[in-house]
């Protein structure tokens, strides 16, 4: 095993990331389980999921389609209820959506009749958000626009933006809420390769400036290796294996150092899915 990562089988036990001693994880998920009931069947979304994410940690969730990644994120975001198990944010039990938990989806979901600034303001005016004064609202909006590099586009409408710009607005809308925990569900997967690289760099920049805690779903192993401090591999609705990556960021120039872990992830995925990914 290389010195830049460590791998372990989680087997449903709590994963502590970089936590030490009595540190409270920012996010703690304990024995979470969800079934979807359809007219014909009961489908497992995810089963017996336990994980911790430490303050400032970036954890990436990888896994084959249908293993439950998006459902897990939606449950943590409070967008849907799990059937069993508990979710804690800094020790407080979460049972519905929380202003300190922000989520960005693959689709930017911008409101077409609102301009960039108004779309960002919309996220700040949701009923679960603390009330802001007008100057506070203006500050939050301009700060978020600057964070994603969209100064000058405040009055543009969604149809006037490229896909990458629209996703920047979506990110700004969530960042403006100053969430403690950022949940990202394949945020860049609909973008072309170059825009995707730009957005990955932007995310890395925001993470390092704000010390944001992130739980990110991605299909892209290279993306997980680029931004993650830990990579969790989900299979058959469980967390199957995890890797800690200690290689310093940015890692773009050091892709060769990560090839070993990339190989391990593909090997593990091939074994657990019974399909050749190598
Ligand atoms: N609203 C729903 N009703 C019924 N079953 C659902 C629903 N949403 C998801 N499922 C099922 O739950 C399981 C997990 O789905 P989920 O979308 O969470 O997986 P995923 O790992 O995010 O997949 P992908 O990577 O393709 O987005 C799948 O079997 C899926 O068919």
118 in the same domain as 95: no
The number of domains in the chain is 2
| Domain termination residue (choose one: 147, 178, 209) | 178
What Cα–Cα distance (Å) separates residue 86 from each residue in 18, 62, 89, 94, 96?
21, 22, 10, 8, 11
253 in the same domain as 116: no
171 in the same domain as 186: no
Interval 61-73: pLDDT, tens: 999 899 999 999 9
- Measured from the CB, is residue 215 less than 6 Å from ligand 1? no
198-220: buried (b, 16+ CB within 10 Å) or exposed (e) per residue? bbbebbbebbeeeebbbbbbbee
264 in the same domain as 207: yes
105 located within any domain: no
Nearest to 201, CA basis, from 141, 160, 253:
253
278 located within any domain: no
For residue 274, give the DSSP letter.
Answer: T
139 in the same domain as 202: no
Interval 7-56: pLDDT, tens: 554 433 444 444 444 578 999 999 999 999 999 899 999 999 999 999 99
Helices 116-124, 163-175: inter-axial angle, 10-degree rounding: 30
Interval 186-206: pLDDT, tens: 999 988 888 888 889 899 999
188 in the same domain as 133: no
ipTM exceeding the 0.90 mark: yes
216 in the same domain as 156: no
Residue owning the nearest CA to atom 13 of ligand 1: 45
Q: How far is the CA of 114 from the centre of ligand 1 (A)?
A: 31
Q: How far is the CA of 229 from the centre of ligand 1 (A)?
A: 26
269 in the same domain as 203: yes
- Measured from the CB, is residue 42 less than 6 Å from ligand 1? no
Residue owning the nearest CA to atom 29 of ligand 1: 66
Interval 103-115: pLDDT, tens: 999 999 999 999 9
| Residue range of the domain that includes 140 | 110-178
| Domain termination residue (choose one: 161, 178, 195) | 178
258 in the same domain as 227: yes
244 in the same domain as 138: no
| Domain termination residue (choose one: 178, 201, 227) | 178
Average pLDDT score, the chain: 88
- Measured from the CB, is residue 255 less than 6 Å from ligand 1? no
116 in the same domain as 86: no
- Measured from the CB, is residue 43 less than 6 Å from ligand 1? yes
- Measured from the CB, is residue 37 less than 6 Å from ligand 1? no
């Amino acid at each position: 095993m290389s010195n830049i990562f460590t791998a372990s089988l989680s087997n449903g036990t709590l994963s502590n990331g970089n936590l030490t001693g009595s540190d409270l994880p920012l996010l703690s998920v304990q024995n979470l389980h969800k079934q979807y009931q359809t007219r014909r069947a009961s489908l497992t979304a995810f089963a017996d999921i336990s994980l911790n994410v430490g303050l400032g940690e970036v954890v990436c969730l990888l896994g084959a389609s249908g293993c439950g990644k998006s459902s897990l994120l939606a449950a943590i975001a409070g967008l849907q209820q799990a059937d069993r198990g508990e979710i804690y944010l800094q020790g407080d039990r979460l049972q519905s959506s929380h202003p300190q938990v922000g989520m960005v989806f693959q689709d930017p979901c911008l409101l077409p009749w609102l301009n960039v600034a108004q779309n960002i303001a919309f996220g700040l005016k949701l009923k679960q958000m603390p009330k802001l004064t007008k100057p506070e609202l203006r500050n939050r909006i301009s700060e978020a626009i600057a964070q994603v590099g969209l100064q000058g586009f405040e009055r543009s409408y969604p149809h006037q933006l490229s896909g990458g710009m629209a996703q920047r607005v979506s990110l700004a809308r969530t960042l403006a809420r100053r969430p403690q925990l950022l949940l990202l569900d394949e945020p860049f997967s609909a973008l072309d390769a170059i825009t995707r690289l730009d957005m990955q760099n932007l995310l890395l920049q925001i993470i390092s400036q704000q010390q944001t805690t992130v739980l990110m779903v991605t299909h892209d192993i290279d993306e997980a290796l680029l931004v993650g401090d830990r990579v969790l591999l989900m299979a058959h609705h469980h967390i199957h294996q995890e890797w800690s990556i200690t290689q310093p960021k940015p890692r773009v120039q050091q892709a060769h150092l990560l090839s070993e872990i990339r190989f391990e992830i593909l090997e593990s995925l091939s074994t657990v899915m019974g399909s050749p990914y190598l």
